[in-house]
Copies of this chain bind each other. A is one copy, B any other.
Amino acid sequence: MKEFLRTKGFKMTPQRELIFRSFFEMEQHVSVDELYDKVRSIDRSIGYSTVWRNLKLICRVGLAQEVSMGDGITRYDRLTRVPHGHLFCLGCKKVIEFNADQIVGVLAQTAVENDFSNKGFKVEVQGFCAECRAKGAVDSFETESVS
């Protein structure tokens, strides 16, 4: 890792090391606050902006990608070898990942057809998970006006 960063022109610091390591130990879709809390529990002296800047760096070097999803919070999603998409539940906000190999193939083709270089992609399906549909939390969007 240290070498990897150095070749890209970045220095290694204790803070950076801890932040990077923690990030890759966490669950998918980490927010700045979440990572900040985790890192803080180990080193109380690390600043918020340092965490933020390093998360940006992780993206810059191609190890993660920013993702949004409705609420105004930016999350950081590790880029895995096997590309994936997101099923986002509008009810409970949960995210399910699914293999997007096939779709990525189509997208790559689309990029070529439009003379675009393909540096990344995002695939998201919004809907309601089984649990939320069961609870009837669904359609509170269309059928908002109930008696």
Contact = CB atoms under 8 A, between A and B. Distances in A.
Contact of A123 (B102, B122, B145): B122
A125 B121 contact: yes
Interface of A: 8-9, 60, 62, 68, 85, 87, 89-90, 96, 98, 102-103, 106-107, 110-111, 113-130, 133, 138, 141-142, 144-145
B90 A119 contact: yes
Contacts of A138: 117
Contact of A129 (B113, B116, B122, B129): B116
A2 to B, nearest CB: 16
A120 B116 contact: no
Contact of A111 (B62, B87, B107, B118): B87
A87 B106 contact: no
A50 to B, nearest CB: 20
B128 A114 contact: no
24 contacts: A8-B144, A60-B144, A85-B110, A87-B110, A87-B111, A96-B116, A98-B110, A102-B106, A103-B123, A106-B106, A107-B123, A107-B125, A111-B125, A116-B128, A116-B129, A118-B125, A118-B127, A119-B127, A119-B141, A120-B126, A120-B127, A122-B122, A122-B123, A122-B124
